Amino acid sequence: MSVDFYESSQQLGDPIQLFRFTYGTEPGEYFAYTDHTQAVTADHGGAIGEVTYEPVPIDREAIVADGTLDRSAIKINFDIDTGIAELFRVYPPSNVVTLVIYHGHLDDPDGAFSAVWSGRVLGAAREGSELTLQGVPVSSQMLRPGLRRHYQYGCPHALYGPQCRADKAAATVAATVASLTATTVTLTAGWEAAFDPGKFVRGMLEWTPAGQSTQRRTIIRRSGDTLTLSGITKDLDVADAVAVVLGCNHRAFTESGGDCESLHDNIQNFGGQPWIPLKNIINKNPYY
């Protein structure tokens, strides 16, 4: 029977919802929940395949479709002990968290579940015994303005991004963890290779736990062989292999201390304006 049959029926309809949160690129890096009282298995076909949704207390705001995008964002509420709450505890996940909400009927012999909302999770908040996730639909990205270049000395490009085009592989060294704390990692001596170790500040430390996606943290300070990170060292242990990636001060030329030319050999893609005059000629000083 079709979904329309159950939707229009006043007696046979038994609507349930499925929520699939994907937080990585490896198989199994997702949380699947349903508002039904028992586990529900749905076959989505393709690369997703069959997914079993765990029954948890869950609630969401109404999905509004009024022809605009300004009311399409939704909030989803969970119990604080739900597994996905750990994903947002202390430090946000390294990868984008996507959400797809499906709607269907429990007694439908075809097991048809239609996607009624798809988007990203942008934030999480805890209040009492509840976790609230804020989600925005995929379509909301169409409202975003493009990158606006400013008249400025420094380069506005994101390091190793599509506009920067710096060679990340050439700027990465392999290292081994000697010791660590919640937010610091001490590497074995010589980890910096041929680079100035101070140049790794504002860069990244990356590691890939077994069966999981790569974790990334910004390096905010360095003292000897110890790096202070922007977040917790999740799923990292002594003797693990890590990748240390150079940072950049977003300045242009070697003579002015710029990393773009001397460190990354990427001056052709520098996005700033280093020749901005230091003095305004339109003022009260007689220059002529």
> Cβ(99)–Cβ(119) under 8 Å?
yes
Any residues with CB less than 8 A from the CB of 39 and at least 6 apart, and which?
A: 52, 53, 54, 55
Which string of b and e fits 201-213 if b means at least 16 CB within 10 Å?
bbbbbebeeeebe
Model confidence at 18, pLDDT cuts 50, 70, 90, reads very high
User: Within 10 Å of residue 53's Cβ, how many Cβ atoms?
Assistant: 23
pLDDT band for 26, please (50, 70, 90 cuts).
Answer: confident
Cβ neighbours of 271 (radius 10 Å): 18
Average pLDDT over residues 82-90: 87
Give the strand pairing for 204-207 and 241-245. antiparallel
Q: pLDDT for 131-143, tens place per residue?
A: 999 998 887 666 5
pLDDT bin (cut points 50, 70, 90) of residue 99 is: very high
Top-confidence residue, 86 or 140: 86
Can you give the three-state secondary structure of the chain, one letter per residue? CCHHHHHHCCCCCCEEEEEEEECCCCCCCEEEEECCCCCEEEECCCCCCEEEEEECCEEECCCCCCCCCCCCCEEEEEECCCCHHHHCCCCCCCCCEEEEEEEEECCCCCCCEEEEEEEEEEEEEEECCEEEEEEEEHHHHHHCCCCCCCCCCCCCCCCCCCCCCCCCCCCEEEEEEEEECCCEEEECCCCCCCCCHHHHCCCEEEECCCCCCCEEEEEEEEECCEEEECCCCCCCCCCCEEEEECCCCCCCCHHHCCHHHHCCCCHHHCCCCCCCCCCCCCCCCCCC
pLDDT(1) > 60: no
Averaged pLDDT score across all residues of the chain:
87
Q: Is the pLDDT of residue 77 over 90?
A: yes
Neighbours of 128 (CB within 10 A): 6
Which is more confidently placed, 267 or 13?
267
- Tell me how far apart the terminal alpha carbons of the chain are, to the nearest angstrom: 87
From residue 269, alpha-carbon distances to 145, 158, 201, 274 in Å are 22, 12, 21, 13
Using pLDDT thresholds of 50, 70 and 90, give the confidence band for residue 172: very high
Tens of pLDDT, residue by residue over 214-266, are 999 999 999 999 999 999 998 999 999 999 999 999 999 999 899 999 999 99
Given a cut of 90, whether residue 66 has pLDDT beyond it is no
Please state the pTM of the whole predicted model.
0.78
pLDDT, position 4: 59
Question: Mean of the pLDDT values across residues 36-44?
Answer: 90
Does 13 have pLDDT greater than 80? no
Question: What's the CATH number for 3-142?
Answer: 2.30.110
Per CATH, the number for 172-246 is: 2.40.10.170
- Residue that wins the pLDDT comparison between 92 and 230: 230
Q: Distance (Å, rounded) from C-alpha 131 to C-alpha 209?
A: 26
- Domains 3-142 and 172-246 fall in the same CATH topology: no
The pLDDT value recorded for residue 105 is 80
What confidence score (pLDDT) does residue 69 get? 52
**Better pLDDT: 280 or 168:** 168
Domain boundaries, the chain: 3-142, 172-246
